[in-house]
Each structure stands twice: as C-alpha cells, then as structure tokens.
DNA sequence: CATGAATGAGACTTCATTCAT
DNA sequence: AATGAATGAAGTCTCATTCAT
C-alpha cells in the first residue's frame, strides 16, 4: 500500500472544521439555506453527519459560522488592499480592485453573502447587514475625504453622501455578479468601469451640478 | 336555504387564482421558496390546499406564476411611466421614478424578484434574468440614444455600455432597498440621487474622460 | 370481493383519533414514554405517521392526551361506582371495588398513569398528580364522613387523616399491581383485603388507640 | 516533567467507579433511563466517556449496577435497623423507621428503584422485583411471627398474609413519597402512621374480624 | 490510567402531493 | 367549485458505542 493512501482519518479538529465550512459554503451558495441538507454537506466534507453536529452544533450555527467567516474574509481582503496613506481616490480604486478580485476568487462565499444570507430571516440578514454597513461606512468616509482633498468642499450634505455610497456599493455588488458570470470580464475591468462611474458622479456632486428635468 | 348564505363562497376561477397568487407573493417574499409551505399559502388565501393544486398544479408552477406576474407588473409599470417621444434623459428619469415607485408600492413582489427568485436554482433565476435583461436592454438603448442626442457620439464601446447599464441597475436595486428601509427617503429622492449619479457617469463616458490612477 | 374487506380507509377523524390513542396507551404502557416510537404507535394504529401528527400534533401532546383520557376514565369509573346516599363505609367499599375493577380491565391505562406518567418530567407528572389529588380528597372526605357517622368523632387531626388517605391510596395502587399480576386474585378480593385493612386502621384511629413501642 | 501535576487525576478504579455510579444514580433518577445520556453521566462524573465504558461496559450494565447498588443499600439499611431478638412488632417498627429514614436520605436511589427501574422493561424490573420480594417476604415473616407471638394463631391464610404484606409495602412506598414531598413530615411520623394502620389491620386479621358489606 | 476523534442507527417532525367525495 | 382524509419521502438532530493513541 502506498504511503498516505486509503481513507484519511483522525484529523485535528481545526482541520476538519475548515473542511466542513468549505463544504458548507459551496452547498449553501448553490442550493440556498433551506434546500441545502446537512447530509449533503457532511458527505461533501467527507465526514459523517454527527461530526458536523459535534463541531458546528446546528444548521443555523453552521450557516452563521459560514457567513461570519466569509464576511470577515471579504472585509479583510478589502482592508488589506488599501493603503491608508494614499489619496482617497487611489484608496477607492484599490478597494474596488480588492473587492472585485476577492469576489471573483471566492464566488461561493460571495453568493452566500450577497444572495443567500439576505433571504433567510433576521438572524442571518443582520450578520450580513453589519458587514455591509462596515463597507458602506468605509466608502462614505472615502467620499468625504475625497471631497476635502480635491476641492476643499467639506460640507457635502450627509444624506447625499449616504445615497451615493449606497448606489456605489449596490453597483459594485451588481458588477461583481456580472463580472463573475460574463465571459472575459476581469476584476480590473469591472473596477475601472465602476471607478469611472463613481468618480464622475462624485465630481458632479461636489461641483453642485445636478441633473434637472427639462434642462 | 337562502342564496349565498353559509360559509362556502363560490367564486369565479380568475378571482380565486388572484387570491392565491397574492397569498403566495406575500408568503414567498417573507419566507423564501423552500420555507414557504403550500399549507400556509392555502390558508392565507382562504382556500383548501387541493384547490391550489387544481389551479396552480405544483409549488414550482406556483412560484413561477408569481415570478411572471410580478416581473410583468414591474416591467409594465416602468414602460407605462415612459413617454417614448421625450428626450432620452427625460425617459431615463421617468423610468427610474416609475421603477422606484413601483418597488416601493409592491415590496413583496420586489423581494420575490430581487431576493428569492435568484436564490433558488436555475428555473426561477432564468425567469428573472429574462426580465432583468429586458430592463438592462431598455436602459442600454436609452444610453445609446442619449449619447447620440447629446453629443453625436454613436460609437460608445458596447462593453462599456453594458457595464454601465449593469452598474446602473445594481445601483437602482440597492437604492430601492435603501429607500424602502430608510425613514424619510422617498422614491423621488432615490431616483434623483441615481439620476445624478448616472448622468454624470454617462457624460464622462461620452466625453471619453476616464479616471486614471496617479493622475 | 366481500363487503367491507380490503384495507379500511377514510374514516372520520374521531374514530381515527381513538384508534391512535388506543395504540398509544398500549405502547406507552409497555415501553415508556421515551422508548415508545411514533413509528410504532402509527403502525399499531394502522395509519401513517403524518396522520398521527396531523391529529395529535406531537409526541408530548399525544402522551398528554393519553394521560388525560385514562385519568378521566378512571376517575369517572370510581365516581360512577359510588352511590352518594349510602353510608361512608359502603361508599368506600364501592369505590374500592370500582377502582380495582377498572384498573384490572384497563391494565395499560393504569400502567401509564401509575408508572409512566410519573417518571417523565413535570408536565406529565402534574397531570397525574392532579388526578391523584382528586382521589385522595375523595377518600379523605369519606374517612371524615365515616368518623362522624360511626363514632360521632368529628375532630380527627387533619394530618392523621391525610396520612391515612395517602397510605390507603398507596396500598390500593400496590394491590392493583399485585392483583393484576397474581394468578387468581380478583378485583373483589383485593378490595376486600384493603377494606379490612383500612377499616381496622380507621377504627383504631377513631378510638384514639395507637401502637406504642414497648407496649 | 513533574510527577502528578497537570490536570490528570489518576485515581484507583474503585473510587472512579463510585463516582460514576453516583453520577448515574442522580441522572437516572432525574431523567429516567432513556432520557439519561452517557455523555451527561460521564460529564457529571468528571471523566471521559470511554472510561465509563471501560468500567461499566454499557448503558444497560450501568443501569443494572445502579439498581443493584441502591437495592442492596436499602435492604441492608432495613436489615441493619432490625434487632432479630426483639418481638415482632418492635422489629416491624424498627424496620419501618429504617426504611423511611433511608429513602428520605437517598431520594435519588429511591426514585430509581421505585419509579425508574420498574418502567423500563423486564431486565430492570426483575432486578427490583427481586428486592421487593425480599422485603415482602421479610414483612410476611414478621406478620406470621407476630400472629404466633400475640395470639398463638399460626394458621392465618397465606393468601391473606400476602395481601396484607403487599398493602403494607405499597402504603409504605406511597408514604415515603408523601413524607419526602410534604413539608414537615418526618420519617418517624410516617413510620408511626403506617405502624398504627398496619397493626390495627393485623389485629383485625388475627381476630378473624372482617368488614362486611351491609353490616 | 485516560481521552479526542469518529460514526451507524434511529428518533421526531414536516411537507408536497393525491384521492374520494 | 371545493374539500376532508391520507401518505411517501426527506430533513434535522441525538445517542450509544468504538478506535487509536
């Protein structure tokens, strides 16, 4: 018998736990919370169902653990991509690239966060909402900084900035899906599209130019 | 026995069917496809379960019927809000207002389309994707028209326009949620925010101005 | 095909419900609450498991329904056997005979009440305790009445009477088991044994005679 | 590495075994055989589950061991309380006091014997039945001795004596519960109540006096 | 002496769906 | 036009029990 062949057994808890979470992300992403079965997840993870329960306690806990892990990974990736000493526009650009890169590399994690977690009741939605708030706040801060840096305009109406940030994040979410699904659209390209879009809107906002019906 | 007394209410099929669809929209929106039960829907509709099966055939068919009805209603609302003889920017403005108004007035329908239908497997996602394509195509056409009207620039790269449209629709979806959940943000205000955002980005695009790192 | 052959199907709810309760009494009596399985009960009742759940809602509810039905039947049997216009001793005699007869005829019901219901947590034990209190109160009243009728001694200490009633009921419960398990011991005989035992103790009590160590 | 430090406590087998049995008595008394889990017992005993299996082999064996230990303790307590050279009535009195004292001091053990062991199938019930037979035989012998001593009446019908003993033991069991649960009822008091009750019944029996309906 | 890692089997419960009236 | 009666299939979760160290 070759070395290490056969069914690998007896692994440290931390390793097994990661395998389970990996299987769960994939399953939840593809089927949704309800349609995913603990049986299926256990099988995909290569362990028996009781072990999943022993380590993750319940389907709800498992889903929560998945959401937390993926949310943390995404937020960390974006933060890690940003150099706080750079100008705001460069930070935004870096953040967008990190965001699109991460979502492209972890499509299942992104699907869980964007689609599944938000459609299955308060407890899970709240978890994701917290992460989204974190990102929206980050973007909001950048927009404020950009305004100050570029034009010395410290007094953009908060409501407008919030709306802009919401639109920006929503656009990013939508483009992440588009880039994942459309052949040949790279993370960089998606980031560029959005950056142009955003920067122009921001410039307008700061110049006080608004679109006006009839004009 | 008097006429029409007792508990049994004989109603024409069309009416009954609408009651069932109404109950289904509400239930699917709140619970999701899997967690919604035919029992619950039948009860909410005030009919017995076999009747639901008689008219709608299966849970899958029922969900599909719901998606189709709500998608049709949304598309129709947007189309009805737009006057094709107006300039492209006015059309876009009108379309956005119609979109935000309709989603605000039909939150359950919107939740089914935006959240639920996309998270429960191909058959349903495809149904919604078709509608989304219709709207994206509509927006894309408007952008093209706007480019021609305003700047005589008929040759925007198709890929850029598609990206822009994706971003725009995503931003609209995000803002719809924001407007629904944030105290005091009206449909009109959301539409204005987005219009500013979009029009500026569009202008940039048409002028060939791009954001450039380091510059 | 003969009439009524084949698997009997489609029965009115009340009938099915009784069949299920009958199966449940038998199963719970033999196996206890935890060891009894809903599968087994459904099979014994000749129905599918979902039907049991449709009508009885849960294992806990089913057990409670069983306890209530059997407790009610026992109390009713005892009450029905007693003629309130008779002297207290005759009433006691009649009550004991009814008790032993009923427990002999419904050994499973008696086992559920006496053994199973008391060993599976508060909710069930409370149900039975209430019934037992009813019987103890009834016996206590009879003892008081007997004291007044026979000896004009209205002032037996309450604590003594309560202890006597407890002992009497306990003895009856024990004898019911004995009579059920011992070949050839009839309900009447058990009742007679206990009646002698009780009546003598009662007489002693009323005459103020006590057993005293060393005398 | 120093000797015996750290968390591991090496203890002689006998000690560990007693800890396990103690945990088991408590757990079985509170939850019943089925609802008690080996996990819970191991945890309460402060050992790992495999050790429980190493020493006690299986849940069934563990329960049996518990029953045997508690039954032996109860029988021993009663026997130890009795001085065989005394008159029968004094022996009975001493036995009753020992019984009520022991059950009051070991409520979990008593609950296992009285409630749990009898409700979970033949193997366990038989174990307890044997102990009960031992006590009933002991009481039966005392009653016979009392009859001879007091009245020189050696010929009480065996059936009557058996019934009396059954009633007496049942009453004792019932009173043990009552004394445990009722504020301020001591073991001694319970024993006195029962002694009065029993002695009177016994006297009646020996005098050939019977309660007769209508007389 | 002692345990962390692991599982086969079975429990309760729910649901989409149909049949006979 | 409408429903009370009924079920096959599947899902979450727990438990007694065993290896390998």
What digits encode the pLDDT tens for the residues B98-150? 888 898 899 999 999 988 998 888 889 898 888 888 887 887 787 777 777 76
Nearest nucleotide over every DNA/RNA strand to the D59 CA, judged by C1' = F16
Q: Across residues A131-156, what is the average pLDDT?
A: 78
Q: Collect all residues with Cβ–Cβ distance below 8 Å to D97 and sequence separation of at least 6.
A: D81, D187, D188, D191
User: Is B89's CB within 8 Å of A211's CB?
Assistant: yes
User: Is C90's CB within 8 Å of D164's CB?
Assistant: no
Structure tokens at C117: 């219901």
- Residue D81 in this model has a pLDDT that exceeds 70: yes
Helix boundaries (H) for chain D: 13-31, 38-45, 49-56, 59-81, 88-105, 107-111, 122-151, 158-181, 187-207
A18 CA, F12 C1': Å apart: 22
Helix boundaries (H) for chain A: 13-31, 38-45, 49-56, 59-81, 88-105, 107-111, 122-151, 158-181, 187-207
User: Is B164's CB within 8 Å of A193's CB?
Assistant: yes
Structure tokens at B18: 């609408």
Nearest nucleotide over every DNA/RNA strand to the A49 CA, judged by C1' = E7
Query: What's the CA gap between D200 and A114, in Å, rounded?
Result: 82
pLDDT of residue B80: 94
- Residue A142 in this model has a pLDDT that exceeds 90: no
Please give the domain boundaries of chain B with CATH numbers for all domains. 66-207 (1.10.357.10)
Vertex C128, ends C122 and C133: CA angle to 5°?
115
User: Is B197's CB within 8 Å of A167's CB?
Assistant: yes
Provide the Cα torsion B183, B185, B187, B192; round to 10°: -170
**Number of residues in chain A:** 215
Helix boundaries (H) for C46-87: 49-56, 59-81
Distances (CA, A) of C37 to C20, C63, D37, D124, D196: 13, 12, 18, 20, 46
Vertex A159, ends B179 and A115: CA angle to 5°?
40
Q: Across residues D193-200, what is the average pLDDT?
A: 80
pLDDT of residue B183: 77
Phi, psi torsion values for B39, nearest 5 degrees: -55, -50
Provide the Cα torsion C151, C157, C160, C165; round to 10°: 60
- Residue B187 in this model has a pLDDT that exceeds 50: yes
- Residue D151 in this model has a pLDDT that exceeds 70: no
Structure tokens at C153: 């001694």
The beta-carbon neighbor of D174 closest among C170, C204, C211 is: C170
Res. D203 pLDDT band, cuts 50 70 90: confident
Chain D partners within 8 Å of C213 (Cβ): 90, 93
User: Is B166's CB within 8 Å of A174's CB?
Assistant: yes
Chain A partners within 8 Å of B199 (Cβ): 204, 211
- Asked if C211 and D199 count as a contact pair (C-beta separation under 8 A), the reply is yes
- Residue A88 in this model has a pLDDT that exceeds 60: yes
pLDDT of residue D65: 96
Nearest nucleotide over every DNA/RNA strand to the B56 CA, judged by C1' = E17
* Nearest CA-CA distance, residue B147 and chain A, Å: 15
Vertex C153, ends C152 and C159: CA angle to 5°?
155
Distances (CA, A) of B75 to A170, A171, B102, B127, B134: 21, 20, 10, 13, 8
- Residue B209 in this model has a pLDDT that exceeds 80: no
Distances (CA, A) of B190 to A196, B173, B174: 21, 10, 10
Tens digit of pLDDT for each residue in C174-215?
888 878 777 778 888 888 888 887 777 777 777 777 777 544
C62 CA, F10 C1': Å apart: 23
Mark residues 37-96 of chain B whose C-beta is closer than 7 A to nucleic acid strand F.
47-51, 54
A58 CA, F13 C1': Å apart: 8
The beta-carbon neighbor of D116 closest among C119, C166, C210 is: C119
* Nearest CA-CA distance, residue D120 and chain C, Å: 6
Query: What's the CA gap between B169 and B156, in Å, rounded?
Result: 19
pLDDT of residue D54: 94
- Asked if A195 and B204 count as a contact pair (C-beta separation under 8 A), the reply is no
Q: Collect all residues with Cβ–Cβ distance below 8 Å to D89 and sequence separation of at least 6.
A: C211, D146, D150, D199
Nearest nucleotide over every DNA/RNA strand to the D42 CA, judged by C1' = E3
pLDDT of residue D191: 82
Tens digit of pLDDT for each residue in A27-41?
999 999 999 999 999
Residue nearest to nucleotide F15 (CA to C1'): D37
Q: Burial level of A72, CB count in 10 A (0-12/13-18/19+)?
A: exposed
Distances (CA, A) of A169 to B198, D21, D156, D157: 14, 62, 97, 95
| DSSP state for residue B119 in the 8-state scheme | G
pLDDT of residue B146: 75
* Nearest CA-CA distance, residue A188 and chain B, Å: 12
Query: pLDDT under 70 in chain C at which residues?
Result: 1-8, 150-155, 213-215
Q: Collect all residues with Cβ–Cβ distance below 8 Å to A3 and sequence separation of at least 6.
A: none
Chain C partners within 8 Å of D210 (Cβ): 192, 196
The beta-carbon neighbor of D93 closest among C175, C204, C213 is: C213
Helix (H) or strand (E) holding A93: helix A88-105
CA–centroid distance for C137 within its chain = 14
More confident call, D89 vs D106: D106
Chain D partners within 8 Å of C139 (Cβ): none
User: Is D173's CB within 8 Å of C174's CB?
Assistant: yes
Nearest nucleotide over every DNA/RNA strand to the A10 CA, judged by C1' = E5
Look up tokens 């972890």; give the residue: A106
pLDDT of residue D145: 80
C44 CB neighbour count, 10 Å cutoff: 15
pLDDT of residue B132: 83
- Asked if D179 and D189 count as a contact pair (C-beta separation under 8 A), the reply is yes
Res. D5 pLDDT band, cuts 50 70 90: very low
- Residue D18 in this model has a pLDDT that exceeds 90: yes
With touching defined as 3+ CB pairs under 8 A, do chains B and D touch? no
Query: What's the CA gap between C26 and C21, in Å, rounded?
Result: 9
Mark residues 26-65 of chain A whose C-beta is closer than 7 A to nucleic acid strand F.
36-39, 49-50, 53, 57-60
How does the average pLDDT of chain D come out, rounded?
A: 84
Q: Collect all residues with Cβ–Cβ distance below 8 Å to B60 and sequence separation of at least 6.
A: B123
Task: Determine which of B58-67, C28-37, C107-116, D159-168 has the lowest per-residue pLDDT on average.
Answer: D159-168
Chain A partners within 8 Å of B33 (Cβ): 32, 34
* Strand F nucleotides with an atom less than 7 Å from a protein beta carbon: 1-21
B32 CB neighbour count, 10 Å cutoff: 23
pLDDT of residue C53: 97
A177 CB neighbour count, 10 Å cutoff: 19
Mark residues 29-68 of chain C whose C-beta is closer than 7 A to nucleic acid strand F.
47-51, 54
Q: Of B123, B98, B127, B96, nearest to B114 (Cα)?
A: B127
Query: What's the CA gap between C198 and C194, in Å, rounded?
Result: 6
Vertex C124, ends C122 and C130: CA angle to 5°?
95
Chain A partners within 8 Å of B195 (Cβ): 211
């Amino acid at each position: 018998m070759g070395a290490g062949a056969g069914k690998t057994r007896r692994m440290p808890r931390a390793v097994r736990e990661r395998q389970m979470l990996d299987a769960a992300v994939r399953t939840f992403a593809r089927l949704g919370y309800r349609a995913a079965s603990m049986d299926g997840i256990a099988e995909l993870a290569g362990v028996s169902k009781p072990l999943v329960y022993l380590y993750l306690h319940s389907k709800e806990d498992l889903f929560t653990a998945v959401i937390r892990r993926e949310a943390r990974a995404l937020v960390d990736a974006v933060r890690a991509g940003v150099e706080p000493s750079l100008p705001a526009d460069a930070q935004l650009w870096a953040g967008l690239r990190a965001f699109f890169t991460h979502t492209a590399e972890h499509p299942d994690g992104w699907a869980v966060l964007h689609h599944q977690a938000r459609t299955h009741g308060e407890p899970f939605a709240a978890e994701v909402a917290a992460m989204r708030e974190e990102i929206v706040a980050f973007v909001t801060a950048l927009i404020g900084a950009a305004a100050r840096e570029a034009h010395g305009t410290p007094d953009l109406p908060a409501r407008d900035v919030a709306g802009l940030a919401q639109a920006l994040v929503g656009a990013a979410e939508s483009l992440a899906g588009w880039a994942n699904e459309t052949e040949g659209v790279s993370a960089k390209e998606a980031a560029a599209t959005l950056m142009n879009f955003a920067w122009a809107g921001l410039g307008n906002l700061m110049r006080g130019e608004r679109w006006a019906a009839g004009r």
